[in-house]
Structure 1
Amino acid sequence: MAEDAETPIRAGWAAQNPLLTEYYDTEWGMPVFDDDGVFERLSLEVFQSGLSWLTILRRRDAFRLAFAGFSIERVARFGEAEVERLLHDEGIIRNRRKIVATVANAQAARRLRDGGGGLAALVWSFRPERSPAPANDAEVPATSDESRALAQELKRRGFAFVGPTTVFALMTAIGVVDTHVVTSHRRGCSGLWTRDGARTAAALPFADAEPG
């Protein structure tokens, strides 16, 4: 019984495979503040749409190789030749719409950077005043008011394949919100949220901007 009491509490999906468990315990919900890092996570969420996250994790190294380490500057220069190359890359998900969307998103992210902002700053500007505090998996939301607003803003800026669910998944993955259940050993792992969903005093590396 003592051993059971010490077993870490995780989201149900994190117990389905050792790769998912490692991702949950070391990466999911940890802050990502650099533009290329946010672009990578957004791109992986785009490819995950309609598929399992395990499918994406198993191909992550291949995705990084195929998409030039998810360098915004490099992917933004991809043309039809690169798209055709990716369509023949068996290591990734060969979906033309998602590949084209990823290139378009790199170009949109580059425009943001050229305009004096950046993808990371834009995404983090939609951090809510409070984070969800789910007691169990059933209480974890799939979208939020902020994800719907951010999805709309990203589309306005030229991003593609960025619906509210995909955007909320991104926000949870990089710590913009904390959707670990409140009893999880990873609750509050970002240092940005308390167990009950309030903001901590930790500062972001860029000034909080008004959404949009």
Structure 2
Amino acid sequence: MNQVLKQLQPEFNKECEKLGISVSDKQSEQLLNYLSSLLKWNKAFNLTAIRDPKEALYLHLLDSVVVSPAIKQFDSCLDVGTGGGLPGIPLAILNPNKEFTLLDTNSKKTRFLKQVVYELGLKNVTVVNKRVQDFQSDSGYACILSRAFASLKDMTDWTWHLLAKGGQWLAMKGVYPQQEIEELAETLELVESKQVKVPNLDATRYFIYLQKIS
């Protein structure tokens, strides 16, 4: 593990506790080992623009961990445009009883993700290197989530065929996407929007839940 991250582990654990998110010692190690690998592979694979470990701890790891309570009702999740595995990998570590599929078109990024999944022993993660429009699922997903992937309209249009009956989309946005919501198809409805504060970040996150109108 990156030595800076090792030193930051008590701080990370404390921030998770403030968020009301239970993290075991093993999960804490896995989360920081994942971030350490992300920063290490980043030098060759260009996985993130953030290179400072402490900055990455808050902007990447805690910004993903904070999503965990938002998916408690879903048993299967598709992380679309996962990139370096955010938020999919942290969520899979915190929710070992849920199934996660991480989808991205960039083969370098999915190669990194497969290595991380192997190294961390994550049995509940499947990594897929495909365009979302070309990806198929027989059963569909209870939750399709994205973090800075696309507009709400594009996200729902491109993944319509992947949502299970009764499932929901969950989009994470930095600002409330009022215009994007107004541009949604009439066959969709806004179920809920939640405002979440990430510790030590001067920013608000909005969780937008959408579903098909039955």
Is the shorter-chain TM-score for this pair beyond 0.5, marking a shared fold? Answer: no
Q: Which has the higher contact order (CA 8 A, sep 6+)?
A: 1
Q: Under a length normalisation based on structure 1, what TM-score does the superposition of the two structures give?
A: 0.29
| Structure with greater strand share of residues | 2
* Larger CA Rg, structure 1 vs 2: 1
| Structure with greater helix share of residues | 1
Q: Under a length normalisation based on structure 2, what TM-score does the superposition of the two structures give?
A: 0.28
